[in-house]
């Protein structure tokens, strides 16, 4: 059974930090492409981070310099360290695994990942 379970969300003030975790199971995590997305009501889902199967990490312009993704292949955990948070970072954050298409321009084409977590809420107050 493939599972992606996110945690670490919460409420913080602008300028604060949070670290999200995504625990993966049921597939070969270490060589699988992964991503972080966020969804806010009324807005389209936004890709935040994409990591290809070779471990190359790409960030959305909106989070560059503030967010850092990393992976612990021994523990099958994907992290997202979020610093200098802004109100516009508010949303439900999802991790995703295994791009079903291909990577182009540093992201999974069509954001078509096979596996998705349930999400964790991040709320940033200004």
- For residue 28, the model assigns a pLDDT of 85
Tens-digit pLDDT profile for residues 47-83: 999 999 999 999 999 999 999 999 999 999 999 999 9
The DSSP secondary structure of the chain, one letter per residue, reads --EEEEE--EEEETT--EEEEEEEESS-GGGS-EEEEEE-TTS--EEEEEE-TT--EEE-TTTTTTEEEEEETTTTEEEEEE-S--GGG-EEEEEEEEESS-EETTEEGGG-EEEE---EEEEEE-
Residue 23 confidence (pLDDT): 97
């Amino acid at each position: 059974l493939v599972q992606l379970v996110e945690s670490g969300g919460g409420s913080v003030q602008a300028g604060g930090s949070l670290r999200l975790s995504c625990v993966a199971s049921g597939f070969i995590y270490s060589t699988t492409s992964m991503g972080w997305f966020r969804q806010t009501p009324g807005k389209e889902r936004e890709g935040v981070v994409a990591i290809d199967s070779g471990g190359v990490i790409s960030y959305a312009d909106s989070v560059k310099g503030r967010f850092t993704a990393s992976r612990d292949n021994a523990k099958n955990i994907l992290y997202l360290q979020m610093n200098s948070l802004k109100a516009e970072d508010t949303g439900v954050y999802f991790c995703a695994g295994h791009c079903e298409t291909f990577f182009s321009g540093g992201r999974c084409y069509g954001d078509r990942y096979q596996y998705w977590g349930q999400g964790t809420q991040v709320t940033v107050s200004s």
